[in-house]
Amino acid sequence: MAKKSLHGFKRVLNATRYSCQGLKATFQNEPAFREEVLLAFIMIPAALLMDVTQIERILLIAVVVLVLFAELVNSAIEAVVDRIGAEQHELSGRAKDIGSAAVMVTMLLAGYVWLEILIL
C-alpha cells in the first residue's frame, strides 16, 4: 500500500515539475505572457485590497488568472505549430489566430468584469 502511495506522490511531484517548467518556458519566451504576469502582480493584490464583496473579489481575481490560462494555451498551440514546420499553411495560421482570439476574448471578459464591478 505504501509503495502505491509513493508512486502517486512521485507522479504529483513530476507533474508539478513539468508545470513549473512550462511556466518558466512561457515566461522566458513569450513577451505577452510576461506583460500579463506583471499586470496580474498588480491586479490581484489590488483586488485583495478593494472594498468589494467576496464574490466580486473572486471574480476580479479569476478573470485575471483566466487571461494567464488562455495565454499559456495559446503559447502551447504556437509552439506545436512552429515545431511542425516553418512553411506557411492555412491551418497553421488558423490555429494561431484562434489561440490569439481566445486570449483576446478572455481579456475582454476581464476588462468587462473589472469595469462592471468598479465603475458601473
* Residues designated catalytic: 71
How many angstroms separate the CA atoms of 70 and 68, rounded? 5
Name the one residue in this structure whose C-alpha cell is 483586488: 47
Q: In 29-55, which positions are buried (b, 16+ CB within 10 angstroms) versus exposed (e)? A: ebeebeebbeeeeebeeebeeeeeeee
How many angstroms separate the CA atoms of 97 and 110, rounded? 20
Q: Give the three-class secondary structure for 52.
A: coil
Max intra-chain CA distance, the chain: 56
